[in-house]
Structure 1
Amino acid sequence: MTDFAKKTAAPDNSQSFSQLLDESGFAEENTAGKIVNGTIVRVEEENVFINIGMRSEGIVPLKEFVDENGNCEVAEGTCVDVLIKGVGRGLPKISKADADSMKHFEDLKQTFSNEQPVKVKAAKRIKGGVECVIEGTGAKAFLPSSQVLIGKNRQGADKVMNQSFDALIIEMEGRRIVLSRKKLLERERAEKMAEFVKQIDVGMLVKGVVSNIIPPGVFVDLTDGSGTIEGFIPVSEVAWKRIKTPGDVLKPGEEITVKIIDIRQDSGRIALSYKQTQSTPWEDFAEKTPQNSRIKGKIANVNEAGVFVEVAEGVVGLVHPDNISWKEKVDPVDEYGENKGKEIEVMMMWCDPVRKKMSLGVKQLQKDPWKTAVRKLKKGENVLTGKVKKEVRGGLVLELDDDIEGFIRFSDLADSDGGRDGEHYKTGMEITGVVKNIDNKSRTVTLSAEMLVRKNEREILKEFTNKQGEGSGAKLGDFISDKIGAVKNEEED
């Protein structure tokens, strides 16, 4: 074929379109931004040459093969993924580091979508938080100070510097990654709390360590010191006695035994009590104070019910109105109303530490005049004189000796005393009668003036009879008149 024929001949259609496209370089120029797999063909001092199927080999700096630990593993014939950043004059610009970064970022997006944790290392303290490196990817991420610890503590950023820990990705926008260690801790705590709650019940005693003390109460770590599961002791459950602050009783780091008093299944909150693991002030008092002991206390309150006396901190007993005086029932307000806060001596008659009740007495500090008085009285024999205190239904109340009370019915009054009704008897008037009855329950001695008249008559008759036996010729009427005159002379004297 002549030269002209060669020049004007149709082109050879045996070559494929793709081959022609490759030879033109157009395809290479449109692969920018893609990750391809290549083969290492040569390793030099600073560069690694990789065949990626183009007309020219790509070059990657050797330093891109150095891992986080400073190790560099590269060998000819090894396959590696690289990112084609562009093609200039037939020479591809490639990067292993960028390829790794793109792949890691895609993996991180999947991790973010699945809410899975990543391992990070706190690398640098920056404004508002910590710059972290996601291990295994080299990707940088931001950990805000508010997302380091559970609660409102923003001082945790300094505590995690240069440490490795797990965190959740909470935000990905472009290449910006935001982390939260707090959310992961909260999630882990909720999971552990749910499991822990299944194993406990209200009323159980558990051990823990005081983790934090605030004015409203005390936080107690119920786990291994990690703070994953915490319970709370309200200030009212710290101690039986009055305290200014929970720190007066408990200290951070102190190992204690507490009682579970409430479990909130929905929120996972556990309410605890420290004081309920300790003996109560009532129990301590009852153990140390025998019945019928003489003790001192301060008058805490006074009302119609009686006198309330604080005998120990948090322990208050009651002096009932009946236990104030042996003489008569006393109005507590009249007797002690102005003595609030003052010291008083009482007798502890009985104490119930479970019901938190105690009976105290003032009159019991003295001997019971009733027992002394009635010991020497006999019905139908002893003659007593009392002064009228008041008139009541059916009779008169008398004030007898030895601070005891007497009573005489109108029907037992003698005609000689003024009749059988209360009209003739004034307060302070004396009435004499023989002991008719002794009532220990009402602590009253009942007298009878009528019985006394008959008693005197019997004695006079007996004496007259004895005189007659001795040969006396006296008449009964004269004898009685003489006796009555002698009695009147004694009363006048």
Structure 2
Amino acid sequence: GTVVSIAPEQVFLDIGYKIEGVLPRSAFPNNAEAVKPGDTVSVSITGRNQEGYYELSRFRVALPRDWSALEAAFAQKLAVAGTVTAAVKGGLSVDVGVRAFMPASRSGARDAAEVEALIGQQITCRITKLDVADENVVVDRRVVLEEQARSELEARRSALEEGATVTGTVRSLMPYGAFVDIGGGEFRGLEGLLHVSDMAHTRVAKPEDVVSVGQQIQVRILKIDAANGKISLGLKQLQPEPWQAVPERYSQGQRVSGAVTRVTDFGAFVELEPGVEGMIHISEMSWAKKVRHPSDLLKPGDRVDAVILSIKLPTQSEAGRIALGLKQTLADPWLEVPRQFPVGSQVQGTVTKIMNFGAFVEVAEGIEGMVHVSEIVADRRINHPRDVLRPGQVVKAIVLAVDSEKRQMKLSIKQAVPTSIDEYIAEHQPGDQVSGRVVEIAGDSAVIELGEGIRAACRVPATASAAQSAPAASSAFAKVDLSSLTSMLQARWKGAASADSGQP
């Protein structure tokens, strides 16, 4: 036939009859965009529509007139034209040049009423059984209809373009999304999947929260998988992208407020505005408290204040991210540690954790110090801290060093244990007379042992003779100036001078 005119949904052809024939635009590539009046198209007549036009098909349809033509059509699996003449038991009688039988199940009709309506209609069918000797012919209309539907569907699918916006009707809902018939016009019968992640910029728990069955929506075609016949659709892509305004609305260090949307093992997500979420990592939730799980502090629906730690804008391959801190809205207790626990001060705390290299002691809420294994006991070497300490044990320690920036404190337990010198000084006062044993004399000075491990140095009086006997020397040093000894011992204790070099 020859194309005479093109309508929005149909192409009219002159097929040499008084009445023109019609083809759907979907029967042509690209929805007949390249077709123009005067083009010649090979068609077959399949029937007449309600308006009286001949219905055409681009399928090759044979018009057999004898048995040899039927055998050729059967061998080549060609569609043949026929007229339904009557209803018979189990099906219909069809005139395809000879009398043929068509089972009702292969008529393409959905019920008995549609089967009856086929009587007197011209149809296109395929010969499925041909026995010339017995003049037995069986035809099938359903297989031809299915092939035509697949061909038209493929033609409609080829007319779709990624990025195009189409109108569709929600046909069914699944936990992972909604199936949408992107119906209307030439795309009728095509279904695409609107995944739950493409429904909105906000997090969608269930598809029914956004769409409902039967609802008409506009969607964007995201991807067409021709090999698998799948179409991916998007709804949020037609809405403004909320992240576009993030650089203008938010900045690092800004204090923000939002609602907790979900809690995971590693943190909590907070919605700052529809479509924009930030994440509070578990390590950024508390200065003082050791958080074992984010749910110990937060739960979905909680309103929280937080500080923006960093912003990473979205790219083509990665989603945008905003890191939030909850503890930054509170004072950092480590800023006061140098004042509360100065170096050299004695603290008391509870052993919280024991490692191979030492033990951690909590000296205040959220403030822990570390005692190295070498600073646990002074009188012996231990292989492991657990030989002496246990979690939960209360201990006293001396602060050796504090680093607020690194949040570290070094402690010593052994240095908090009083020594024999400490006890000696505590038991004596300046002016007391003490006795000791001369252990060494060198020139005009002598070293005297006042007790086990306690030695003092003093100057020999100028009147004493270096040649005196030992008893005389002992008598000369029987009385020692304790005030000088006390000053020397205190200086040694403070680290200003050693016992061996102390001066009276």
TM-score (norm 2): 0.49
**1 or 2, which has the higher helix percentage?**
1
The structure with the largest alpha-carbon Rg is 1
- TM normalised by structure 1 equals 0.49
